[in-house]
Structure 1
């Protein structure tokens, strides 16, 4: 058997084995934000499309895919609402002029997008900003401004899907409908004649991932409750539907993960074969010592630094900060005022006893009062917090 034939057979067997393994492996979760009505992936809008008539009864949903100007020019007769969702929404001058005519006639537009570009951003003088969170693990509290819609406990969403807010807006024209923590607007409205324009900078709050939760469904329903009763809802897919006129020869290969990786492996095998046949000699690879685990040494150094400084107050404040963050994330309780109401709520929701909770709250008040923290007081605080974690499991 010649060398070339042997490599071809081995390469074919490896590719076939890989394709078989890919075919039978579980399908991984697709986290791509498509915002398409037929997509049942986390960041699709299948649930919203199926249940939107629960919030807007007697409304016919019509999908439109052309530019905004064309959609509004050819809209059905009668009152209607216009809904745009996507990662980036770009509005040009002609689109905006048609939108103004549409809204002044008594119709309403809702835009949910991470970025608003074009003339709309300049005309409304707004800027969308996102709080950076490592791996999107932080949850940001959001709520509505209207007392009839505001919930007693804020809405919390993971994966950073509620982290966007308006860092700049025209406060004279903009009406704030919803807020993120620190009173940052995250849902606004502009009046145009008898109609209005509403902008939500967190489109993933309206996707399947959010609507599968009771909190998410309630939040989305309240967002759409701002759209008045109308005969038609125009659902714009112009900013989410990819161009179907892709003439690329490799479009089929790159459309599916299995074929795309098979293509990559074939190219890699060809490169390896060519390099092997060149028969170039490489230098001997030097032996590299295995990296040492210095985590324990680092912890000991940090511990000695704190011990030598004797900064008991700093250690106590950090312990308290982590405890309150734990309570906010797990029980969604506000920790600004540690009053009797907070004590009762924590006692009811956690598995900790009243003695442990009372002792911790008493120590927190003592430390926040600016008193000196002795060694025995720090040890007592640490034991109470550890006992709280143990009982809360």
Structure 2
């Protein structure tokens, strides 16, 4: 019996070593489709190139990273109140360009008042995001077609901007995610339209204030990603858009505060993206090694289960409670309703989808593997575009810091359509 167990363990280890060698030896590169808008990311949808070009566009300005709220009172501490007060006053005295490029910009009421106050005092604020606070838009008499453009997964983007010198409109395009939005309501008496989408609908506007400041709202943030700017001559779009900001500014502040703060949430990222397999870890940048490590962990788990099966005690049979399934569903429903943890619920819905595909169609579910998408579409006969949209949407929600009720309902609708028609 012991000889048979040793033989099985030897086979398992040989399979593990073979998988490790195959994974590490694979030199195939795949396009990283994660949309981060992060200044340190050199992936297609990061903003490393846009950030690095700021110094060339504003040669006389200091480029700084902003990690504090625009509301001065939100960031003051009792110990350093005098120092922070002095820093705030110096910040106000300087000619500043404040640039925010993020997945979402959802300030609370005090932060909105602080942003508008900065502009009224002569500062210049540029905001480009997939989703912008409706309260901020309402204060500017703006209304967008969609509350977020994260669902617009078209595989190309065409936009135009007015040249700040000649006022000629120049169009730019690239073969990547669109993720753009447009304005359906604009108050022409206070708004200047600087850019449009491919259908001629405004997506970039300017507001000038009597104090000399200006506020810019832009609805196509993918135009600042590495993929877009390095495609053909699209760098000119970047130059034209940011040339509306004054070049004689003393400071250019690249914002990181709104990346993790939504309506006054000061919890930050909470270590998001860190750890061994997190999005920001070194191992995540080595896909072959990461797959091999997961394979080793799974094999170790199998070995543990084989060994523990021979030694575990007999588990007594516990009679289930009457109508246990209904009680369980009610309990879980109340739990999620009280906690309102949409992100956790979205992750569990994704895991349930993966388990359903694995058990029903015998396909190992990997949302980021394009071969999985092709196999699942072939086996189920489900519409390829709908399936592609569903997989991208689940991937996108995993990267979101929080999931709104509308986004959760949208995910449920897509999953129900798949279960019904697949």
Residue 91 of structure 2 is aligned to residue 94 of structure 1: no
Once residues 181 and 75 of structure 1 are traced to their aligned partners in structure 2, the CA distance between those partners, rounded to angstroms, is: 42
Q: Could you tell me which residue of structure 2 aligns to residue 47 of structure 1?
A: 49
Candidates 250, 274, 277, aligned match of 1:253: 277
1:95-119 C-alpha deviation (Å, 9 max, x unpaired): 1111122111111100111110253
Task: Kindly report the root-mean-square deviation, in angstroms, between the aligned alpha carbons of the 2 structures.
Answer: 3.6
The TM-score normalised by the length of structure 1 is 0.60
1:58 CA displacement: 0.6
Structure 1 segment 203-282 matched on structure 2, within 5 A: 203-228=221-246, 229-240=248-259, 243=268, 245-246=270-271, 251-254=275-278, 255=281, 256-257=283-284, 258=287, 261-262=291-292, 264-266=294-296, 268-269=298-299
1:180 CA displacement: 1.6
Structure 1 segment 173-184 matched on structure 2, within 5 A: 173-184=190-201
Once residues 7 and 257 of structure 2 are traced to their aligned partners in structure 1, the CA distance between those partners, rounded to angstroms, is: 51
Given that 2:151 and 2:179 are in contact with CA atoms closer than 8 Å, whether structure 1 keeps it comes out as: no
1:64 CA displacement: 1.4
Once residues 116 and 139 of structure 1 are traced to their aligned partners in structure 2, the CA distance between those partners, rounded to angstroms, is: 20
Structure 1 segment 49-198 matched on structure 2, within 5 A: 49-70=51-72, 73=88, 76=91, 77-117=93-133, 119-124=135-140, 125-129=142-146, 136-144=154-162, 148-151=166-169, 154-161=171-178, 163-193=180-210, 194-198=212-216
Q: Could you tell me which residue of structure 2 aligns to residue 16 of structure 1?
A: 17
Q: Could you tell me which residue of structure 1 aligns to residue 31 of structure 2?
A: 29
Change (3 A) 1:173 1:37: same
1:74 CA displacement: 6.7
Aligned residues: 277
1:292-328 C-alpha deviation (Å, 9 max, x unpaired): x9xxxxxxxxxxxxxxxxxxxxxxxxxxxxxxxxxxx
1:54 CA displacement: 2.5
1:69 CA displacement: 2.4
Given that 2:206 and 2:217 are in contact with CA atoms closer than 8 Å, whether structure 1 keeps it comes out as: yes
Given that 1:36 and 1:241 are in contact with CA atoms closer than 8 Å, whether structure 2 keeps it comes out as: no
1:120 CA displacement: 1.3
Once residues 247 and 120 of structure 1 are traced to their aligned partners in structure 2, the CA distance between those partners, rounded to angstroms, is: 27
Once residues 38 and 75 of structure 1 are traced to their aligned partners in structure 2, the CA distance between those partners, rounded to angstroms, is: 28
The TM-score normalised by the length of structure 2 is 0.56
Change (3 A) 1:271 1:62: closer
Once residues 50 and 131 of structure 1 are traced to their aligned partners in structure 2, the CA distance between those partners, rounded to angstroms, is: 25
Change (3 A) 1:60 1:131: closer
Change (3 A) 1:14 1:166: farther
